[in-house]
A and B are shown apart, each in its own frame.
Chain A
């Protein structure tokens, strides 16, 4: 099956700085990579996703990059704000496991005002 690793497990940044979270996957057939944000006491919410036919996708202050050769993808948050503080999860879905998503272990991001 797929194995998704996520780093770092915790990340603290000053407000206004950038934050980067990285994930690697093992199944070369994986073709869809969503990112979820989980705020305290809430369920994970989709914030951005990328498919294997593109290398980068951006939505305002959030961007995701994908390197299929190296089998890793990253979440970039620019101009961080205190409300970006949350736990972020990456996930992958593969052709061979089309009905399952595999989640990373999460990154707890703290933005210091």
Chain B
């Protein structure tokens, strides 16, 4: 398996622009997570989906952030408009949920976002 795939790997944009991050989970996994990692705050869970349905988005910083999962093999995290404080590494992770229990999460390589 190719593992979790994220694109782009690096993104540099200017403040106010829209940013779209993409994720393809491991085939067969039915849960998907978006995390943000910064030096100050470490790994923060932004949102997660089970069977393509958003379950908990309490970690999403504000309305500028939105996430979708139109099917089992694709998810997007969008920031509109972007701000310099959004600069971070964004990780997507996937796992298999069975019987209400989440199995091990596998992380993608991350998208390094820099907002100027």
Contact = CB atoms under 8 A, between A and B. Distances in A.
A105 B37 CA distance: 10
A93 B48 CA distance: 15
Contact of A34 (B42, B55, B97, B104): B104
Given A99-B48, A99-B50, A103-B42, A44 B102 contact: no
Interface in B10-66: 31, 42-43, 45, 48, 50, 55-56
Interface in B92-116: 93, 97, 100-102, 104-110
Contact of B102 (A36, A45, A49, A98): A98
A100 B43 contact: no
30 contacts: A34-B105, A36-B107, A42-B109, A43-B4, A43-B91, A43-B93, A43-B107, A43-B108, A43-B109, A43-B110, A44-B43, A44-B91, A45-B107, A46-B105, A46-B106, A49-B104, A89-B43, A93-B102, A98-B101, A99-B31, A99-B50, A99-B56, A99-B97, A99-B100, A100-B102, A101-B45, A101-B102, A101-B105, A103-B43, A106-B42
B70 to A, nearest CB: 21
A34, A43, A49, A93 — most chain B CB neighbours (10 Å): A43
Interface residues of B, dominant DSSP: strand
Contacts, number: 46
B102 A99 contact: yes
Interface string A68-112: 000000000000000000000100010000111101011000000
A53 to B, nearest CB: 14
A42 B110 contact: yes
Nearest to B112: A41
Contact of B42 (A36, A45, A100, A105): A105
A98 B56 contact: no
A42 B37 CA distance: 12
B14 to A, nearest CB: 24
A68 B102 CA distance: 20
A99 B97 CA distance: 8
B56 A100 contact: yes
